[in-house]
Amino acid sequence: MSNTALKTGHNEEMELLLPWYATGKLTDSEKHQVEAWLDGNPEAQSHLEIVREEMALTIESNETLGVAGAGALHRLMAAIEAEGDARPQADPQQGGFMERIAGFLGGFSPRVYATALAACLLLLIAQAGIIGALLTSTPDATFRTATGGGPATVESGIIALVAFQDAASASDIGVLMSDNEAEIIGGPAEGGLYRVRFPQTADPDAVMNQLRAASDVVKFVALSQ
Amino acid sequence: MTSDGQDRELLARIARKDAAAVQALFARHQTRIFRFILRFVRNEAIAEELCNEVFLEVWRKAGSYRGQSAAATWLMSIARNKALSLLRKRADEELDDDYAEALADDSDTPDVDVAKQDKAEIMRRCIDRLSAQHKEIIDLVYYHEMSVSEVSETLGIPVNTVKTRMFYARKQLSELFKSAGIDRGWP
């Protein structure tokens, strides 16, 4: 494969690493190198935004694939039983603590599971407290994680995936949500993406423009549906 | 314990033929493996069947897992082999209706697309139109959140190839966006 297309005059290795920087999967050393490259480099930063947009779209694309049918596990266990080598199963009610926790967590997709862990960590910082309040501010809102499979309820309104600036305060985010009659309905996913719902009557282009204009608060935004 | 640590513990129990452990592992990984396979085979019933075959193979071979790669990566490698094996068998067969329908969708011109879809939907459809090789790596990196080395292990290619393949996948995606009237200014 020719590398001609990579000869863009930029730091090629950093450009190649951007997708993994966005997903948080670089080593500390690589991460610091990419951050040094991004620092004061608007063009590189715009490329990172493109990567984040691709990531959001890919996640959305996968989430539309749905999940396997409810009978899949039953069929699997029947096949395993037919193998004839399984140890007798313990009564789930008698299982250990970890077993019960695994069973509980097993009800979630891996992405929801990861998101839930991230949400727990978020509770440790002040910003999350306010965001949590925003999450519960609308009693009839349908909660759905930023990327995980949630209730099958169709979300009304315009949904966007938003990443906030690290330096944005919770009150800044609250004001932005309030000014746009928006609410955070899920997240954060890996990469700090939140699902934000805007009124059904809002103009999607206007919403995008307003959020992009609030660049001191919003790091990235992409329409979800 | 890390998520991978929990997976390894479950695999150790599965190797001892603990059926409860395979249920737990299934619950933790079924959705993403199902979606990964579905991207290949484009048929939910077949994807579900292959997904179950993955866990049945795990049941049979957990004792051979040596822990050299993350448990999730090992599972994905099994899933990929199952999917590719099926596709090879299917190569000479007639296209099923779902697959033919998907190909028919691809024949829409960009103008038609713009007229009937919003921008985000168009962009998602562009992702679906990537070549199988490019879609696979985009999914592994962005959705399955695999590191460079994990993708390398799953696909059996060198780490530098992983990086360049991802770059060209992104480039192909940008070209598809452009053909649909969306110019992102990159590359």
Domain end position, chosen among B94, B119, B149:
B94
Q: Percent of chain A at pLDDT above 90?
A: 27
Q: Is B136 on the interface with A (CB under 8 A)?
A: no
pLDDT band at A80 (very low <50, low <70, confident <90, very high): very high
Within 13 Å, how many C-alpha atoms sit on residue A137's CB side? 17
- B90 and B139 inside one domain: no
Residue B120 in domain: yes
Residue B67 in domain: yes
pLDDT of residue B162 exceeding 70? yes
What do you get for the CA distance between the two ends of chain B, in Å? 41
Domain end position, chosen among B42, B69, B94:
B94
The predicted pLDDT at position A140 comes to: 45
pLDDT digits (tens, 9 = 90+) for B20-47: 999 999 999 999 999 999 998 989 999 9
Domain end position, chosen among B45, B61, B94:
B94
- Count residue pairs from A and B with Cβ separation < 8 A: 169
Q: Which residues contact B111 (CB under 8 A, 6 or more apart)?
A: B181
User: Which of B52, B55, B186 faces A47 most closely, judged by CB atoms?
Assistant: B186
- B72 and B113 inside one domain: no
pLDDT of residue A151 exceeding 50? no
Contacts of A225 in chain B (CB under 8 A): 120
The predicted pLDDT at position B95 comes to: 46
**Which of the two residues, B145 and A221, has the higher pLDDT score?**
B145
This prediction's pTM: 0.64
- B121 and B39 inside one domain: no
- B76 and B115 inside one domain: no
Q: Report residue A153 as tokens.
A: 């309820």
Minimum distance, in Å, between the CA of residue B101 and any CA atom of chain A:
16
Residue with tokens 């004792």: B63
Of A188, A192, A197, A191, the C-alpha closest to A146 is: A188
Mean of the pLDDT values across residues A91-106? 49
- B67 and B154 inside one domain: no
The predicted pLDDT at position B173 comes to: 95
The predicted pLDDT at position B123 comes to: 87
**Which of the two residues, B57 and A100, has the higher pLDDT score?**
B57
Residue B187 in domain: no
pLDDT of residue B107 exceeding 50? no
pLDDT of residue A74 exceeding 90? yes
Mean of the pLDDT values across residues A166-183? 82
User: Which of A20, A62, A103 faces B35 most closely, judged by CB atoms?
Assistant: A62
pLDDT of residue A163 exceeding 50? yes
Residue B19 to residue A20, Cβ atoms within 8 A: no
What own/partner pairs with CB < 8 Å and gap ≥ 24 does A150-156 have?
A: A150/A112, A150/A186, A155/A185, A155/A197, A155/A225, A156/A197, A156/A200
d(CA A152, CA A155): 9
- Domain-by-domain residue ranges, chain A? 11-63, 118-225
The predicted pLDDT at position A122 comes to: 55
* Cα of A79 vs its chain's centroid, Å: 35
pLDDT of residue A164 exceeding 90? no
User: Mutate which of B137, B142, B144, B157 to test chain A, going by most A C-beta atoms within 10 A?
Assistant: B142
Contacts of B16 in chain A (CB under 8 A): 87
Residue B124 in domain: yes
Residue B13 in domain: yes
The predicted pLDDT at position B17 comes to: 95
pLDDT of residue B94 exceeding 80? no
pLDDT of residue A115 exceeding 70? no
User: Which of A53, A79, A107 faces B27 most closely, judged by CB atoms?
Assistant: A107
- B64 and B118 inside one domain: no
- B138 and B65 inside one domain: no
ipTM of the complex as predicted: 0.83
The predicted pLDDT at position A174 comes to: 83
* Buried b / exposed e along A141-164 (16+ C-beta atoms within 10 A): beebbbbbbbeeeebebbbbbbbb
The predicted pLDDT at position A118 comes to: 55
Residue B19 to residue A46, Cβ atoms within 8 A: no
**Which of the two residues, A59 and A171, has the higher pLDDT score?**
A59
B18: three-class secondary structure by DSSP: strand
The predicted pLDDT at position A130 comes to: 56
Q: Is B124 on the interface with A (CB under 8 A)?
A: yes
CATH at residue B88: 1.10.1740.10
CB atoms under 10 Å from CB of A165, counted, come to 16
Residue A58 to residue B55, Cβ atoms within 8 A: no
Residue B19 in domain: yes
Domain of residue B123, residue span: 108-182
Number of domains in chain B: 2
Residue with tokens 């393949």: B165
**Residue type present at position B11:** L
How big is the CA angle at A34 (ends A30 and A37), to the nearest 5 degrees? 140
d(CA A16, CA A193): 22
CATH at residue B112: 1.10.10.10
- B56 and B124 inside one domain: no
The whole-chain average pLDDT of chain A stands at: 73
User: Which of B20, B24, B59 faces A83 most closely, judged by CB atoms?
Assistant: B59
The three-state DSSP-derived secondary structure of chain A is CCCHHHCCCCCHHHHHHHHHHHCCCCCHHHHHHHHHHHCCCHHHHHHHHHHHHHHHHHHHHHHCCCCCCCCHHHHHHHHHHHHCCCECCCCHHHCCHHHHHHHHHCCCCHHHHHHHHHHHHHCCCHHHHHHHHHHCCCCCCCCCCCCCCCCCCCCCCEEEEEEECCCCCHHHHHHHHHHCCCEEEECCCCCCEEEEEECCCCCHHHHHHHHHHCCCCEEEEEECC
- B81 and B147 inside one domain: no
- B158 and B86 inside one domain: no
CB atoms under 10 Å from CB of A66, counted, come to 15
- B47 and B115 inside one domain: no
Residue B100 in domain: no
- B79 and B12 inside one domain: yes
